[in-house]
Amino acid sequence: MPLTPGDSAPRITLVGATGAVGTTLIRLIEERGFRYRDVRLVASARSAGRELTVDGRTHRVEALDTFDFSTTDVAFFSAGGAVSRKWVPSAVAQGALVIDNTNAFRMDAGTPLVVPQVNAAELDVRPAGGIIANPNCSTIPLVRLLRPVEERWGIRHAVVSTYQAASGRGHSGLAELAEASSITLEDPAATPPATAFSPALAFDVIPFIDELLDTGFTLEEQKMLQESRKILGLPHLDVTATCVRVPVMNGHSEAAWIECDDVVDRAELIRLLAAEPEVTVHDQDTPGAFPTPRTAGNPDHVHVGRVRVSPRNPRGFWLWLVADNLRIGAALNALQIAEALVERGVL
């Protein structure tokens, strides 16, 4: 069983355990057999007292504002940026290593921003600041595909449009999309709820995610630029994005145009992407094949299709990618960081 007696496994705490990412992390710990010698579940005072099951054992959710992190080896924070900014320093001061799934510390110079398939070397030593940041849900699958392309052909720039699911707003986003869809189907003239999304997301698309910046871009779009540069170690990488919310329950999609320094061969590109760990290329044998959030398959893989090298500019190519944003884009990447830390003896 993953519950391991003695001192050979870490003591873990899940902050935001009742949220969409937190409950996904619990499932992944069970599915992947991640070994621990203690697990604590933490959330807001509103959720404290609830009971959740981990590996067949019932655990009562504890309140964050009174929680003692001194017996925690690694804490996963998935409760939003404001919560992380307030409580992560306290957890670190009490000795916990924090894997933070928010934007709170990603661009701090001393905080590693890690996708294990791309820059796992960042995990060879414990960070001095006690925090490892988990990247944005759309950045993670993109950089996993950009890394081998950069190593083979070099990248001049990337233009990306994202199509992001309602689950990116957690349980509230999923519930609102379901309610708004039902109301609209029953009465197209009715006014559906529009709290998590504005305007209402049902039967619509919203080209605006997160806050608006002075540049005219949104914070979500800026994250993709800044985080890609940091993860890949390419401070001058040119990435520009339009991030769009779509009426899909779960699974983010992206259309990406990548222009390289040299001419790209499509067959070699497909072989290169297909050789990446946990990547499925759908048109490897059937040109034009593509994944969708509902049909992609293995939720722990990045799914790629519609790979097209431009005949007018053979240095550039298009691809379509789909990834489970709650798993690959959040909980799975965080857990793979912890797995890599255990493997390296850092935890």
Q: Which of 72, 110, 113 is nearest to 91 (CA)?
A: 72
Q: What would the two tokens of residue 200 be? A: 């209402």
20 in a labelled binding site: yes
Q: Alpha helices of 113-258 — where are they, by DSSP H?
A: 116-119, 139-153, 170-186, 219-232
Contacts of 176 (CB under 8 A, 6+ apart): 166, 169, 193, 194, 195, 196, 197, 200, 201
CA-CA-CA-CA torsion sign (135, 216, 177, 203): negative
Is the distance from CB of 97 to CB of 209 less than 8 angstroms? no
Residue 282 falls in the annotated catalytic set: no
Is the distance from CB of 24 to CB of 330 less than 8 angstroms? yes
pLDDT value of residue 90: 98
Q: Give the active site residue among 137, 243, 282, 303.
A: 137
Q: Which fold has domain 11-135+330-343?
A: Rossmann fold (3.40.50)
pLDDT value of residue 6: 63
Residues facing residue 95 across a β-bridge: none
pLDDT value of residue 5: 66
Ranges of the chain with pLDDT below 70: 1, 3, 5-6
Q: Report the alpha-carbon angle 192-198-199, nearest 5.
A: 55
Q: Where are the domains positioned within the chain? A: 11-135+330-343, 139-165+205-324
Residues facing residue 54 across a β-bridge: 57
Q: Which tens digits make up the pLDDT trace of 106-165?
A: 999 999 999 999 999 999 999 999 999 999 999 999 999 999 999 999 999 999 999 999
Q: Which amino acid is at 62?
A: E
168 in a labelled binding site: yes
Question: What ranges make up the beta strands (E) of 16-61?
Answer: 38-43, 51-54, 57-60
Rg (CA), the chain: 20
Residue 252 falls in the annotated catalytic set: yes
- Residue where the block lists tokens 């593509």: 290
- CB atoms near residue 28 (< 10 Å): 19
CB burial of 84-122 (b: ≥16 within 10 Å; e: otherwise) equals: beebbeebbeeebbbbbbbbbbbeeeebbbbbbbbbbeb
pLDDT value of residue 205: 98
Same fold across 11-135+330-343 and 139-165+205-324: no
Is the distance from CB of 102 to CB of 81 less than 8 angstroms? yes
Q: What would the two tokens of residue 335 be? A: 């857990």
Q: Alpha helices of 120-205 — where are they, by DSSP H?
A: 139-153, 170-186
pLDDT value of residue 172: 97
46 in a labelled binding site: yes
21 in a labelled binding site: yes
CA distance 141 to 146: 9
CA distance 227 to 159: 15
251 in a labelled binding site: no
325 in a labelled binding site: yes
- Residue where the block lists tokens 């992609």: 296
164 in a labelled binding site: yes
What CATH number belongs to 139-165+205-324? 3.30.360.10
Q: What would the two tokens of residue 175 be? A: 């519930």
The DSSP code for 218 is B
pLDDT value of residue 33: 97
Q: Give the active site residue among 171, 236, 252, 301.
A: 252
Strands in 62-63's sheet, in edge-to-edge order, are: 62-63, 38-43, 11-15, 74-77, 97-100, 131-133
Q: What would the two tokens of residue 289 be? A: 């094949």
